[in-house]
Amino acid sequence: MFKVTSTDKAPAAIGPYSQAIEVNGFLFASGQVPINPEVGDVVAEGIVDQTEQVMKNIGAILEVNGLTYTDVVKTTCFLADMGDFATFNEVYAKYFTGKPARSCVAVKTLPKNVLCEVEILAVTKK
């Protein structure tokens, strides 16, 4: 069995999916984009502000599950422009200090034309 988890401190799903699913000691979180959940809109257009909002959204999903960024074992990062890679990494590194495994790819377009999206896999049983 699995448990669907959600929080109003992160953006609601904008499609037929859950914010996160917990199963067998793992939390699988859907990709987070830089939507401010308080207003439902994408934050400023720059990669720094957008990455910060993505990290806040991830933090909210982790928190509602009693977890922190150090419980994350894998991330998948999507960038609209690989030219933002270094700047994205600077913000990312402030949050993922445990250096989880990671994939990072450039994609043609992201939902709502945002600059970045990040999904996570975390360990729930320590």
Q: Cα–Cα distances in Å, from 68 out to 34, 106, 110?
A: 19, 26, 26
Tens of pLDDT, residues 33-72? 999 999 989 988 799 999 999 999 999 999 999 999 999 9
Q: Please, which residues have CB within 8 angstroms of residue 86's CB and are 6 or more apart in sequence?
A: none
| Domain ranges across the chain | 3-123
Residue 50's closest CA among 63, 36, 68, 70?
36
Please give the model's pTM, rounded to 2 decimal places. Answer: 0.95
- Domain 3-123 in CATH: superfamily? RutC-like (3.30.1330.40)
Active site residues: 104
Tens of pLDDT, residues 69-99? 999 999 999 999 999 999 999 999 999 999 9
Q: Pick 13 or 62 by higher pLDDT.
A: 62
User: How does DSSP assign 89-124, residue by residue?
Assistant: HHHHHHH-TT--EEEEEE-S--GGG-SEEEEEEEE-
Q: Cα 121–123–126 angle (5° rounding)? A: 170
The residue whose two tokens read 């894998």 is 74
